Amino acid sequence: MRLVLDASVAVAAARPNEPAHVAARALVTRVLGGHVEIAVPVIFGIEVGASLARVGEPIEGVQAYVEALIRVTAELAAMGPRRAKQIRDLAIASRLRAADAVYVWLAAREGVPLCTLDREVLVRGSAFCRVVTPEAL
C-alpha cells in the first residue's frame, strides 16, 4: 500500500493524549516497519517537528522521530515554481490552507490516498483525491 501521510497523523501517533492516537500509531508503526509506503511533501518534517516541539516534546526525541519517518519515505516531494503554481491553484479552488493544499496536490499527483485527521482536508480535499483516516486503513 502507498499513500500520502499528512503531518496530522504523524503528530497524533506521537502523542498518546490525541483522540486518534491508537489508529495513527498503528499506521505509523506499519510505515516504520516497511509495510506501508509513504510519499510526503518536503514540508512534512518541518510540520511534524514544529508541532511536537511546540507542545513541549523533548527535542532529541522529536528529531529522532522525524528522521525515522523521513528515512522510510518513498518520496520526499520538493516544490519549485511550477509545482507551487499548481498548489496555489488547488488551494484557491479547494479553499484549503496552504500546507493542506500541498498534501492534497501530492496525493492527486501520485494517484494515491491522502491519510489525514484534519476534518477540513477530509471534506474539501476529497474533490481532488481520495482522502481517508487512519481508522479506514
Predicted confidence pLDDT, tens digits, the chain (137 residues): 999 999 999 999 999 999 999 999 999 999 999 999 999 999 999 999 999 999 999 999 999 999 999 999 999 999 999 999 999 999 999 999 999 999 999 999 999 999 999 999 999 999 999 999 999 99
* Cβ contacts of 90-95, under 8 Å, gap ≥ 24: 90/128, 93/128, 94/124, 94/125, 94/127, 94/128, 95/124
Pairwise CA distance, residues 128 & 107, whole Å: 9
Give the CATH fold of the 2-136 domain: Rossmann fold (3.40.50)
Q: Record the cell numbers describing residue 124, joined without a space.
A: 474539501
DSSP letter (8 states) at residue 81? H
Domain boundaries, given as residue ranges, for the chain: 2-136
pTM > 0.95: yes
